[in-house]
Amino acid sequence: MSMESLDQFRSEVRQWLADNCPVSQRTPAQPGEQYWGGRRAEFPNADAQLWFERMRDKGWTAPEWPAEYGGGGLDEAQAKILKDEMKAIAARPPLVSLGIWMLGPALLEYGNQQQKEKYLTAIVRGEHRWCQGYSEPGYGSDLAGVQCRAEDKGDHYLVNGSKIWTSRADVADWIFCLVRTNTDAIKQEGISFLLIDMETEGISTSLIELISGESEFCQTFFDNVKVPKENLVGEADKGWSVAKSLLKHERKLMSEMGTDIPSVDPRTIARDYVSYNAEGKIANSEIRRQLAEYDMYIQAVGLTHFRGFEERMHNIQGNSPLIMKYVGTEAERLKGEALLALMGSSALGWEGDEFSATEKQALRQWAMSKTLTIAGGTHEIQLNIIAKRILQLPQ
Amino acid sequence: MSMESLDQFRSEVRQWLADNCPVSQRTPAQPGEQYWGGRRAEFPNADAQLWFERMRDKGWTAPEWPAEYGGGGLDEAQAKILKDEMKAIAARPPLVSLGIWMLGPALLEYGNQQQKEKYLTAIVRGEHRWCQGYSEPGYGSDLAGVQCRAEDKGDHYLVNGSKIWTSRADVADWIFCLVRTNTDAIKQEGISFLLIDMETEGISTSLIELISGESEFCQTFFDNVKVPKENLVGEADKGWSVAKSLLKHERKLMSEMGTDIPSVDPRTIARDYVSYNAEGKIANSEIRRQLAEYDMYIQAVGLTHFRGFEERMHNIQGNSPLIMKYVGTEAERLKGEALLALMGSSALGWEGDEFSATEKQALRQWAMSKTLTIAGGTHEIQLNIIAKRILQLPQ
Amino acid sequence: MSLVLNEEQTLLQSTARDFLLTNSPVDEFRKLRDSRDALGYSAELWQQIADLGWAGIIIPEQYGGLEFGFQGLAAIIEETGHTLLASPLISSSVLSASALVLGGNEKQKNDFLPQLANGSITLALALEDGNHHDPLGVTTSANPSDGGWLVNGRKVFVMDGHSADQLILVARTSGAAGESQGLSLFLVDAASAGITRTRTTMVDGRNAANIELENVAVGADQLLGTVDDGWTILEPVLDRGRIALAAELLGSAWEAFNRTVEYLKEREQFGVKIGSFQALQHRASIMYTELELSNSVVMHAASAVDDDPAGLPAIASLAKARMNDVSKLVTNEAVQMHGGIGVTDELDIGLFLKRSRVAMQLLGDSGYHKDRYATLNGY
Amino acid sequence: MSLVLNEEQTLLQSTARDFLLTNSPVDEFRKLRDSRDALGYSAELWQQIADLGWAGIIIPEQYGGLEFGFQGLAAIIEETGHTLLASPLISSSVLSASALVLGGNEKQKNDFLPQLANGSITLALALEDGNHHDPLGVTTSANPSDGGWLVNGRKVFVMDGHSADQLILVARTSGAAGESQGLSLFLVDAASAGITRTRTTMVDGRNAANIELENVAVGADQLLGTVDDGWTILEPVLDRGRIALAAELLGSAWEAFNRTVEYLKEREQFGVKIGSFQALQHRASIMYTELELSNSVVMHAASAVDDDPAGLPAIASLAKARMNDVSKLVTNEAVQMHGGIGVTDELDIGLFLKRSRVAMQLLGDSGYHKDRYATLNGY
């Protein structure tokens, strides 16, 4: 699309957002205020519903997906404009969804026509809430070590085993799963990619409490669960390709962590928590340095996001996407430690009224940052990937 | 020895040093002023000779070696007292010698009576200057990868190959060498420990220039060099044990680097090279932090040296000796970088009169610190050793 | 200076280790945390500890203490780091006991030290006015009134302050924030009129109180030391507290490290033990070097309390700064190396991470102590 | 802001790469260093570079330049980092050209820019009074005399100052050290009476002059910009220099990194390629992430010179601080990973280490730029 028509598109988007985004939806959503969709979902409030429905009707819950599946049909440049314009007025995402972020792109690549029609549309419309079934107890980083078994029973698979880190499996409608369909094959071979309705008999979940005090994750158990064969994505035993494609999207998502989620920013809260000297500098030079180093790092990460986008626009093949998960979560780690350093004893509150909501959030954010460098491929796995795929060091 | 007699010993030592150490020998020796001994050695000056001869006659060039080989016969506690008292008056070491630091202890453990008598005495008396023949080109860290061949020819070995990092082989009288006597055996097996007279026909050396501009090291070539069988230390093919014992002493030596060698100390020169604010703090807080972190690290290393000594005195088996090479050379690395940060453009001079001797020395010291984390077992090898021997992590 | 424990100290340490592993393993702390126990530590256990003499270990014999020296106390506290013991050992037996020993008059010592030593009362030091350690910055005021003073202000982050029987208040009788002259210490009954204490629940599951002081009347006999000259007592008291915290951090860092090394030996991924991955080995080895260095620094600091009072400030800052940094490194690495299980509440490793961050802030973060160390060394 | 080069810039960069690899590989620099060449760079090569237009790349066409924009120049300078080119590109074509373009009057521009662009003369900026970058701290004085000034002082670390035809002197006409007001810039012939230049030989094998200024008489027509107001020119000039140095450091860090990765793939120890050791892989991967981030930061900074003058100070400090740190990390690791051979003078990797340390000090070390960045961002 030419620069001119992009400019035209930008003003249209800006106008539409000004007309359609309720004012209450123009502040960062607190965790409880996000709309995740699904059969059991309720809207946190009427404005959230209005905003969701308007965006859904434009196809802008999934701006880049084809219009035939309910998406917005935008190209990457247009999608970025929409994102930038939403960011400019701090508009909330109308729908938060693993289906949009992760499953959808994989289905677009590997799903058959029937699957695309059935699942993509439901995702865009917020009708299905999805969770992810990759890791297993004992096989955290070793995704190819899948033990969860799916036996071929003619018209269906019989699934037995368990998955861990299934985020909010307790409220999800569907789970996308890596299962082992062939035990003779080695590692990556013999794995299949299955879509499973969480209401199927034999599925149960239990919540895992994290050090941040949150319980976003579950362990999910499959006990003789029957899954129709039509729920297989791609070929049987060849699910690893689907899985890898999806992992790319997860990495991308993780690398953008913190850019959309409302969070306590050490740069903006500093003034309330540290003292300054006569020159206007933070008096504790170590805290000041820590803040500056975080600030400089996050700037570099932001610029690299932008460079990656520009390179794709210009069809330049760059390596930056492969580092984004590492540096994005590293930035969150630095942010968490900077918050604790800046806020001192104020950021050590776990509960109770003696600490403000911001203070308690800062602490939880710090604790959650410890999860980010592990989930979605640990720091170590990311470094392995860089060493192998980019640097091509001997294995 | 009882505390009382140690106190008595200390006052005797103090008195003796006061009476016998020439005043000119009570300042740190510049590199050219050290006495390394050997057939070709000349004393830098008359006082250095006087000081050496007095110490030699006490046996204190090698204070802990048995008196029968010309050593001082002191125990560790006494030796430490001597060292402390020498340090207190900044007395120079009368003789600087790889023979004392490395070969001697190994000979004491593995040499036969004849070898001890012949070599130890000559070392103590500064008659032989030794160099080390361990590493080979292409086998830097992999000491067991010895390729230098010693064929058994009945009454002698015929040595062919080359050694690298043979320090000052160009002026040394003797070299102690790891050679391969059995090519069928694997790695560590089949290696022998040989003593070779550098004047033997077929030996040649070439100097290697380092990034610090110094040329302490050589490559040494052996071309059909005949070595009498009596020069074998320990058993044939079993030289690896001798080598390991000697490496321990090298590590210990490296870990003490900088404690005896005169060096530019960032803590003492700071005042001349940075500006201070009204509170008396170094104005550039990053430089101040770097200095403090070096200072705190070297304190910790010094205390750990002392703790290791105390533990040995109390027969406590500690692991600290195995970390000292790593932390000692890490301290030198931090020191080098701190010097450059503190001195700014003043520490960037390579040659010429526009930089003071101290400034040029600081730069060389920084460059030399890059060698220290590699020579005598790289940082990486040290970490492997800790992982294996102390932490017992699976290999 | 001695950097090895003597026989008596070694015995004390191994006794402490056995006692704590038996009576107060990490599970006990977890129960306490989960039950939101009002006291925040086990009263029963505390009495046992007092019976062992630990509460009075640095208190002179004439006041009912063991008079065993600070190095022994530090050895015990290091052991408490291994099991995450929640107890008033640092607030009462280190900080408050030291304040009384160093600054109390005969009557004050007689009144409080024996009870402190036998565990029948606890004391807490109410120091911080704000969210960053800043003892010279205290502005809580004590204004003359009726031959005594009226104290006004707000104290935060007071270790075990909600349950202490007596509080040692740090207040300003003259001078301005930043000056050492003008600080005074007062020993007040925690139930005195004008004192409102609120317990806070912190990330480490322990408690520190916020304390409102509104016209708290103190008499001349409640002054600890000399008026305006509190700093001469407070500074060495704080240095002892810092060394005690450094010892605790050392113990908990070793424990987190040891548990991680064990995990590396057990856990398999990709068909091999993860401890065979060289990248993890090197990171573990580097941590090991830092912990070995820390052993020397903390032991030296503990011995300096009794042997080298003049050198104490720099030595204490060296120890606290180092243990802040090493603890941060080790606990972060411990969680990361445990992977997914490391960030669940179920595993104990997260408890070490959380305690680390609180202990790092107590009595001075790394920036505070590096700055102080540099200043004391003339740069 | 654009974070990809356009077609013309890409072409320029690849032309530069080819030219430098052919005409000025690292070996050429080594010869220059070993011969203790009096000029410190190859005059012949410099003329070729000028013929390519690089010397005048940011100079307006009307003064004989290419007027190509700063991003193109930065792309070239990054390439010079790969081959360690010694040339007056930064001293003359970035710093001095910028000072003339931003601050010169018509006559000054006409007199010097065309010659600067065609390579017939070089200029140097004589800024530093002391051993740490401190432009506001300048105390070199310029006192009124005969309708002009007499300049007295001593300048150090003047890049290519010993051979420049003209010097831009930074001197204080009023105010005190630390104040931006009161600095003035003067354009003087290097052969003027009272100027004594001494070449220094630095660790990187390049040269910087120490310059004594003793009653150097300058006329009113030699003033660059307005009296006392030199800072308004000097600050953007320095920021351009910092970005140019950041670009050079980026190029040389990539080169040192690439050579190290190649070495890891070739070198065998213990019977395997050392690149298969995971500890080295992870360290290499971490460096790679830093270099990728650096690509974005440096490109952004170069584009900001033309596109975002208001944001330039913070952006320049971000770039210089980052490249100082990344270059230090990468060159240290490069030497360490090369092992024994890495510390021999024979291998080129040491040359990258040495150049890194000089470029880190030029126009501000990390501490300087982190401090400036924080101040500009209000903390």
Helix (H) or strand (E) holding B229: none
Residue with tokens 């090298």: B250
User: Over 60: is that where the pLDDT of C123 sits?
Assistant: yes
Residue A53: the pLDDT is 96
Q: Considering only the beta carbons, identify the residue of C133, C279, C340 that sits closest to A165.
A: C340
Is the Cβ of B297 closer than 8 Å to some Cβ of chain D? Answer: no
Residue D317: the pLDDT is 98
Is B375 in Cβ contact with D132 (below 8 Å)? no
- Surface-to-core class of residue A280, CB atoms within 10 Å of its CB (0-12 exposed, 13-18 middle, 19+ buried): exposed
Q: Is B172 helix (H, G, I), strand (E, B) or coil?
A: coil
User: Over 70: is that where the pLDDT of C18 sits?
Assistant: yes
Is D366 in Cβ contact with B345 (below 8 Å)? no
CB-CB neighbors (< 8 A) of A208 in chain C: 344, 346
Is the Cβ of D282 closer than 8 Å to some Cβ of chain B? Answer: no
Q: What token pair was written down for D218?
A: 């300058």
pLDDT, averaged per 10 consecutive residues of chain B (395 residues), comes to 86 96 89 86 92 96 94 93 92 91 92 95 95 86 86 95 91 95 81 96 95 89 96 93 84 61 84 94 96 97 92 90 94 96 97 94 94 92 96 95
Q: What are the φ and ψ backbone dihedral angles of D14, each rounded to 5 degrees?
A: -75, -30
Is D205 in Cβ contact with B370 (below 8 Å)? no
Along the 379 residues of chain D, how does pLDDT read in single tens digits? 689 999 999 999 999 999 999 999 999 999 999 998 889 999 999 999 999 999 999 999 999 999 999 999 999 999 999 999 999 999 999 999 999 999 999 999 999 999 999 999 999 999 999 999 999 999 999 999 999 999 999 999 999 999 999 999 999 999 999 999 999 999 999 999 999 999 999 999 998 999 999 999 999 999 999 999 999 999 999 999 999 999 999 999 999 999 999 999 999 988 899 999 999 999 999 999 999 999 999 999 999 999 999 999 999 999 999 999 999 999 999 999 999 999 999 999 999 999 999 999 999 999 999 999 999 999 9
User: Over 80: is that where the pLDDT of A7 sits?
Assistant: yes
Is the Cβ of D2 closer than 8 Å to some Cβ of chain A? Answer: yes
Rounded Cα–Cα distance for residues A56 and A70 (Å) = 8
Is the Cβ of C282 closer than 8 Å to some Cβ of chain D? Answer: yes
Is the Cβ of C106 closer than 8 Å to some Cβ of chain A? Answer: no
Q: Considering only the beta carbons, identify the residue of B210, B349, B367 that sits closest to D200.
A: B349
Rounded Cα–Cα distance for residues B129 and B169 (Å) = 9
Is B285 in Cβ contact with A288 (below 8 Å)? yes
Is the Cβ of C22 closer than 8 Å to some Cβ of chain B? Answer: no
Rounded Cα–Cα distance for residues A21 and A17 (Å) = 5
Q: How close A164 gets to chain C, by Cα (Å)?
A: 9
CB-CB neighbors (< 8 A) of A288 in chain B: 285
Which has the higher per-residue pLDDT, A41 or A347? A347
Rounded Cα–Cα distance for residues B330 and B333 (Å) = 5
Q: What are the φ and ψ backbone dihedral angles of B142, each rounded to 5 degrees?
A: -90, 75
User: Over 90: is that where the pLDDT of C79 sits?
Assistant: yes
CA distances from A32 to A35, A43, A272, C29, C162 (A): 8, 10, 26, 31, 33
User: Over 70: is that where the pLDDT of A140 sits?
Assistant: yes
CA distances from B91 to B38, B84, B269, B334, D26 (A): 21, 10, 22, 26, 46
Is A275 in Cβ contact with C131 (below 8 Å)? no
Rounded Cα–Cα distance for residues B150 and B277 (Å) = 65
Question: Domains in chain C and their CATH numbers?
Answer: 7-121 (1.10.540.10), 124-228 (2.40.110.10), 232-376 (1.20.140.10)
- In terms of residues, how long is chain C? 379
Give A79-89 pLDDT, tens digit per residue.
999 999 999 99
Residue B258: the pLDDT is 45
Band of pLDDT at residue A32, cut at 50, 70 and 90: confident
Rounded Cα–Cα distance for residues A326 and A320 (Å) = 11
Nearest Cα to Cα of residue D53 among D21, D86, D8? D8
Is the Cβ of A285 closer than 8 Å to some Cβ of chain B? Answer: yes
Nearest Cα to Cα of residue B41 among B95, B93, B92? B95
Rounded Cα–Cα distance for residues B283 and C15 (Å) = 49
Q: How many CB pairs under 8 A join A and B?
A: 8
* HSE toward the beta carbon, residue C200, CA cutoff 13 A: 26
Band of pLDDT at residue A256, cut at 50, 70 and 90: low
User: Over 90: is that where the pLDDT of A3 sits?
Assistant: no
The mean pLDDT value for C304-314 works out to 94
Question: Domains in chain B and their CATH numbers?
Answer: 3-96 (1.10.540), 130-238 (2.40.110.10), 258-390 (1.20.140.10)
Residue with tokens 């006291």: C39
Give A190-199 pLDDT, tens digit per residue.
999 999 999 9
Give C46-59 pLDDT, tens digit per residue.
999 999 999 999 99
Is A292 in Cβ contact with D370 (below 8 Å)? yes
The mean pLDDT value for A215-232 works out to 94
Residue with tokens 């069988």: B229
Q: Which of B285, B288, B290, B291 should be substituted to probe chain A, the one whose Cβ sees the most A Cβ atoms within 10 Å?
A: B285
Is the Cβ of C288 closer than 8 Å to some Cβ of chain D? Answer: no
Q: Considering only the beta carbons, identify the residue of C1, C264, C288 that sits closest to B386.
A: C288
CB-CB neighbors (< 8 A) of D278 in chain C: 277-279
Q: Considering only the beta carbons, identify the residue of A280, A307, A387 that sits closest to D3.
A: A307
Is A383 in Cβ contact with C201 (below 8 Å)? no
> Are C262 and C163 spatial neighbours (Cβ–Cβ below 8 Å)?
no
Band of pLDDT at residue C266, cut at 50, 70 and 90: very high
Residue A149: the pLDDT is 95
The alpha carbon of A76 is separated from its chain's Cα centroid by a whole number of angstroms, namely 18
Q: How close B269 gets to chain D, by Cα (Å)?
A: 14
pTM for the whole thing? 0.92
Q: What token pair was written down for C311?
A: 């050198």
CB-CB neighbors (< 8 A) of C282 in chain B: 380, 383-384, 387
Rounded Cα–Cα distance for residues D284 and A385 (Å) = 12
**Contacting A residues, span 268-287, partner chain C, CB-CB under 8 Å:** 273-275, 284-287
Is B289 in Cβ contact with C379 (below 8 Å)? no
Residue A258: the pLDDT is 46
Neighbours of B15 (CB within 10 A): 11
Q: Name the closest residue on chain B to residue C322, using Cα atoms.
A: B296
Is B345 in Cβ contact with D131 (below 8 Å)? yes
Is the Cβ of C285 closer than 8 Å to some Cβ of chain B? Answer: yes
Residue B2: the pLDDT is 76
Is the Cβ of A207 closer than 8 Å to some Cβ of chain C? Answer: no
Is the Cβ of A293 closer than 8 Å to some Cβ of chain C? Answer: no
Predicted complex ipTM: 0.93
Q: Is B62 helix (H, G, I), strand (E, B) or coil?
A: coil
